[in-house]
Structure 1
Amino acid sequence: MLTLALADLPADFRARALQWAAQFAHCAYYEHNGLQASAASTFSRLLAVAATPTATSSLPDLPAYLASPAALPHCGFVTYDVKNEIEALSSHNFSGLDWPLLHFFQPETCLRWHTDTLTIEGQTAGVLAAILATEVASPSPATVPPLRARMPRAAYLQAVENVREDILNGEVYELNLCQEFYAEAVKLDPVATFWRLNETSPAPYAGFLRHHDHYLLCASPESFIRKEQHTITSQPIKGTRRRGTTPADDEQQRLALLHDEKERAENLMIVDLVRNDLARVARTGTVRVPELFGTYGFQHVWQLISTVSAELRPNVGLANILRAAFPMGSMTGAPKIRAMQLIEHYEASRRGLYSGSLGYVLPGGDFAFNVVIRSLQYRADTGYLSLQVGSAITYDSVPEQEYQECLLKAQGVLEALRTVITA
């Protein structure tokens, strides 16, 4: 292991490091941006790479894979369609992405940032010199065509009305309806685009992922599951308002979100769902809600965030937790299984890694996984670029307002791409 003082490194070291790392077929970078969304912590700042790693792409094989001795973190992702391995569900909609269902890899080299130091672990020979010799290209404007809607606006508005009818008929209480905006034949610089996204929408659970020709550029504010010793924590987000243009307007927006009965009802329903999910793997009587309806400001939006925690039962690992709690309830609705069946019916494309999770498992067994939202999915081999956004539909939803909420959530990503959404 090589330990370096951060003060001795150039100011653009992280940019050089990611530029160097992105040449590897397997690359994962986790970024907290100095933010703390709420009571729990954030991603650790960590960069992992491998050319030919020891890896697994199977949920049944995950427990044995993670149980093998490891000196470095296991890094990986779980796509939304892992739901089909957990429940009797299926996915048949269009997909321009085709990620593996999940993938975890053991890095060959790992960089970990601490308060005042950086450690380089694993294969360290020549790594520092290679990073310092890496040139970061001057930022150039992205040339991305306008994104097109996979689901036309009129179809989305009708879908919201249909979901409201389903709620009236007792099918669900709440459903997270998402839509995809996409472009084809795109030539994108993933690293430069990630840094632009990180600048326009800094987030505590941001990340960059390369899996061969697949890339994820993520600016997520949401934590799916975190384990610290014997405590697990989940932080569902439900409730969104734009930021104000002045301090007074901003505070007015925050208070409007905090006191909005519809937003509070949405949040509370998902908190109850998450409490139920965590209870399946928790010690009896330990599930609690240390924070309900916290308001947290990000670059473009205020979010209503609650925190659910529990003490984990002995011998319960990540795979057990995924089977109990994945996907995050904020991205499905309640009750979860029926909501996912209706999502498949109403949405026009498969979600891929959107609504899934990106994270890492540390050698001691602690882990952190986000909810993949406010993100771009990109295939360099085909040029397919996908931006997906959604909102929670309740019976009180107004279709046009839900559509505008989707556009608000897309704003930071669109700024990073310097493109627009066509009607």
Structure 2
Amino acid sequence: MSNIRDASIEPLLCNYAWQDLLQAAHGFGYSLCTFPNETETPAYPHGRFRALLAVGAVETILIERVSAGQLHDLKSRLAGAWWFGVVAYDVKNAFERLHSHNEDFLSLPDLCLFRPQWVFERRGDKVYCLSGDPEAFWSQSARQHSLPAGDMPPAKVGRIYSTVSRQDYERTVEAIREEIRNGEIYEMNYCIEFRAEDARLHAPFKLFETLNQRSPMPFAAFARLGDYYVLSASPERYMKRQGSRLISQPIKGTAPRGNTPQEDEQVRCRLLQSEKERAENMMIVDLVRNDLARVGILGTVEVEELFGIYTFRRLHQMVSTIGVELPPEASFLDCLTATFPMGSMTGAPKIRAMELIEQYETQKRGWYSGALGYITPQGDFDWNVLIRTIFYNARLQRLSFQVGSAITYDASPAQEWAECLLKARAMHEVLQAYV
């Protein structure tokens, strides 16, 4: 059987348990699994991630610093096959006259994609093989290393520290508010980084499972890409193509869960009615509408849902859904070029916001606020926003996660700091147990 199953062939029903497949995948140098957490997350417009597992690399694309020309050359290469991987935030530099000169703690490449040897999918209680020979997978996985045995902890993490103090954070928020008052921008997503410099993830997937149990999300994912690991509990979809339809679902607006059902409903209502949160969300909706119009058919941009409130285990989020019809010739890279980076992680106007992000943030974002996802042989795709995500460079034994919030003129520095800590809580709690 060939590595790439013909798209017209019915998927092969496998007599393997999903958990056994996940266990067997860990010894391969490249693997990526998406976790929709169907029973733990709210019903999402256009669904969640598919439950996919990609293992092994027939072909890889690894570009340290990508250019527009390199992306253009990849169009035909990405067609007609499964591809999985990560696009870094700093790919923005290939699309606009921008740069990324801040400290690069993790030294991650701009682009890391792989064409897998095997693709499996869980549908309910059944498992299907979509690409490759499953018997060959088991034969090869038996020769690979699996998870460490015994009682070895999944991680040993050194001191976790923030690159920005609360005092410096609040001072920077005031400076950004001054930029807004001067008419430079309307809104900017300002992020900070938490680091550990002596981190040893003995079993990264076990650590991901703990994170996923504490903070289940519809666009969660675990990836091993050579020496690089991604442990993502992302609530946000960047973009999805299904047939001729392209949709984007930016999140702007966050509130913690209440302690009682009555308090929880009050919090939910306050988030929905908050003028500040609605204004932030509306700015990004307008930005996304403009981005989608650059790649879609004229006059087909539609706001399908505005200010939707979705409840997760630890917080409520305000989510809007915007869609557009695509011309037949539009490729994944065409859609990426028109819309990346996502407006929810930049600000408005987008280019000036990205310039000020580089000025006011102290760290290079790297894969944070980039995207993780997959492309199908038919040309459909689904990509998340890499937030609420732990990144690990095994070669350097360095670990990092970043959090941020949208700064508008009405922003309270103290409240924005509290929102950052709320978003960081699940990741910090999971790692703190192994400091």
Report deviation, 1:135. Answer: 6.4
Mapped partners of 2:426, 2:258: distance in 1: 15
Please, which of 316, 327, 339 is the counterpart of residue 330 of structure 2? 316
Could you give the per-residue CA deviations for residues 202-240 of structure 1, whole angstroms, max 9, x where no partner exists?
011011111111111001010000001000000000000
Mapped partners of 1:141, 1:324: distance in 2: 40
Report deviation, 1:265. Answer: 0.4
1:48 corresponds in structure 2 to 54
Report deviation, 1:52. Answer: 5.0
The 8 Å contact of residues 56 and 65 in structure 1, kept in 2 or not, is answered as: no
SS in 2 for 1:65: coil
In the alignment, structure 1 residue 145 sits paired with structure 2 residue 154: no
The 8 Å contact of residues 78 and 353 in structure 1, kept in 2 or not, is answered as: yes
Could you give the per-residue CA deviations for residues 241-262 of structure 1, whole angstroms, max 9, x where no partner exists?
0011111111111111111110
Please, which of 137, 154, 170 is the counterpart of residue 167 of structure 2? 154
In the alignment, structure 1 residue 61 sits paired with structure 2 residue 73: yes
Task: Kindly provide the amino acid, as one letter, of the partner of residue 135 in structure 2.
Answer: A
Report deviation, 1:93. Answer: 0.4
Where in structure 2 are the equivalents of 1:206-355 lying within 5 Å? 206-355=220-369
Mapped partners of 2:78, 2:358: distance in 1: 31
Mapped partners of 1:358, 1:110: distance in 2: 16
Q: Alpha carbons of 1:390 and 1:419: their partners in 2 closer, same or farther (altered >3 Å)?
A: farther
1:127 corresponds in structure 2 to 137
SS in 1 for 2:71: coil
Q: Percent identity between the aligned chains?
A: 47
SS in 1 for 2:76: helix
Mapped partners of 1:398, 1:138: distance in 2: 48
In the alignment, structure 1 residue 38 sits paired with structure 2 residue 44: yes
SS in 1 for 2:216: coil
Could you give the per-residue CA deviations for residues 53-92 of structure 1, whole angstroms, max 9, x where no partner exists?
253644222212112x43xx21121000000001100000
The 8 Å contact of residues 3 and 119 in structure 1, kept in 2 or not, is answered as: yes
Mapped partners of 1:308, 1:363: distance in 2: 25
Mapped partners of 2:176, 2:208: distance in 1: 34
Q: Alpha carbons of 1:41 and 1:117: their partners in 2 closer, same or farther (altered >3 Å)?
A: same
Please, which of 158, 161, 176 is the counterpart of residue 189 of structure 2? 176
Could you give the per-residue CA deviations for residues 153-208 of structure 1, whole angstroms, max 9, x where no partner exists?
21111110000000000000000000001011111121111111110110110111
The 8 Å contact of residues 292 and 306 in structure 1, kept in 2 or not, is answered as: yes
Q: Alpha carbons of 1:388 and 1:56: their partners in 2 closer, same or farther (altered >3 Å)?
A: closer
Please identify, of 325-334 and 20-29, the stretch whose mean Cα deviation from structure 2 is larger: 20-29
Task: Kindly provide the amino acid, as one letter, of the partner of residue 265 in structure 1.
Answer: A
SS in 1 for 2:78: helix
In the alignment, structure 1 residue 368 sits paired with structure 2 residue 382: yes
Mapped partners of 2:32, 2:147: distance in 1: 20
Task: Kindly provide the amino acid, as one letter, of the partner of residue 157 in structure 1.
Answer: E
C-alpha RMSD of the superposition: 2.1
1:21 corresponds in structure 2 to 25
The 8 Å contact of residues 141 and 418 in structure 1, kept in 2 or not, is answered as: no
Report deviation, 1:37. Answer: 5.2
Please, which of 116, 119, 123 is the counterpart of residue 110 of structure 1? 119
The 8 Å contact of residues 146 and 420 in structure 1, kept in 2 or not, is answered as: no
1:396 corresponds in structure 2 to 410
Unpaired runs of at least 5, structure 2 = 6-10, 64-69
Task: Kindly provide the amino acid, as one letter, of the partner of residue 26 in structure 2.
Answer: A
Could you give the per-residue CA deviations for residues 101-129 of structure 1, whole angstroms, max 9, x where no partner exists?
11221101111112342122314234346
Mapped partners of 1:138, 1:205: distance in 2: 31
The 8 Å contact of residues 57 and 114 in structure 2, kept in 1 or not, is answered as: no
Work out the number of aligned pairs and report it. Answer: 413
Report deviation, 1:412. Answer: 1.4
Report deviation, 1:298. Answer: 1.0
Mapped partners of 1:77, 1:257: distance in 2: 32
Report deviation, 1:313. Answer: 2.1
Report deviation, 1:143. Answer: 3.5
The 8 Å contact of residues 21 and 49 in structure 1, kept in 2 or not, is answered as: yes
Report deviation, 1:319. Answer: 0.9
Task: Kindly provide the amino acid, as one letter, of the partner of residue 340 in structure 1.
Answer: M
In the alignment, structure 1 residue 414 sits paired with structure 2 residue 418: no
TM-score, normalised by the number of residues in structure 1: 0.92
Mapped partners of 1:104, 1:112: distance in 2: 19
Task: Kindly provide the amino acid, as one letter, of the partner of residue 317 in structure 1.
Answer: S
The 8 Å contact of residues 332 and 379 in structure 2, kept in 1 or not, is answered as: no
Where in structure 2 are the equivalents of 1:184-199 lying within 5 Å? 184-188=197-201, 189-199=203-213
2:90 corresponds in structure 1 to 81
The 8 Å contact of residues 200 and 415 in structure 1, kept in 2 or not, is answered as: no
Could you give the per-residue CA deviations for residues 297-345 of structure 1, whole angstroms, max 9, x where no partner exists?
1121100000000101231111111111001100000000000000000
Report deviation, 1:136. Answer: 7.5
SS in 1 for 2:403: strand
1:381 corresponds in structure 2 to 395
In the alignment, structure 1 residue 95 sits paired with structure 2 residue 101: no
Mapped partners of 2:342, 2:256: distance in 1: 23
Report deviation, 1:152. Answer: 2.0
SS in 2 for 1:266: helix
Unpaired runs of at least 5, structure 1 = none
TM-score, normalised by the number of residues in structure 2: 0.90
